[in-house]
Amino acid sequence: MRRGPSGYAPSRGHLAELLKRLPELTHDSMPRVVVEEFEPLLDSSDMTPADWLHTARAIERRYGEFDGFVILHGTDTMAYTASALSFMLEGLTKPVILTGSQVPLVEPRSDARENLITSLLLSARPEL
């Protein structure tokens, strides 16, 4: 999310820019990260069941390419998305982790950095 005159809003390419600034992602213990942005970018408060289906299909389409998946999601509707995906993705043998934060990644006292790094590390551990 990028801060604008009306508050925070999704911004194409912004996450990839921010990830380049995280030195933790270059550590040997970190998995390879590939960012896939959906079209259109959404605030999580605007998500619908069609968006849950789109997310599930994106995981299904790229399932063979990765050890796990991390979905960055706003906190307002994360519980609804997690519930829907738990049924849509039932039986998968790879981790699918939804993560978010109370404060956006761009802010100095954000919980997003730790949440993201931990989620990425856990997503690469299929035994979980």
106: exposed, middle or buried (Cβ count in 10 Å: 0-12, 13-18, 19+): middle
Please give the pLDDT value at position 43: 82
Reported as a pLDDT band with limits 50, 70 and 90, residue 123 is very high
Q: pTM of the full predicted structure?
A: 0.88
CATH number at residue 73: 3.40.50.1170
Instruction: Tell me how many domains the chain contains.
Output: 1
CA angle 63, 53, 36 (to 5 degrees): 50
Q: What residue numbers bound the domain in which 84 lies?
A: 10-26+48-123
**Does residue 32 belong to any structural domain of this protein?**
no
Reported as a pLDDT band with limits 50, 70 and 90, residue 103 is confident
**Does residue 16 belong to any structural domain of this protein?**
yes
The residue type of 115 is: N
Contact between 1 and 104 (Cβ < 8 Å): yes
Please give the pLDDT value at position 116: 94
Please give the pLDDT value at position 69: 97
**Does residue 84 belong to any structural domain of this protein?**
yes
**Does residue 128 belong to any structural domain of this protein?**
no
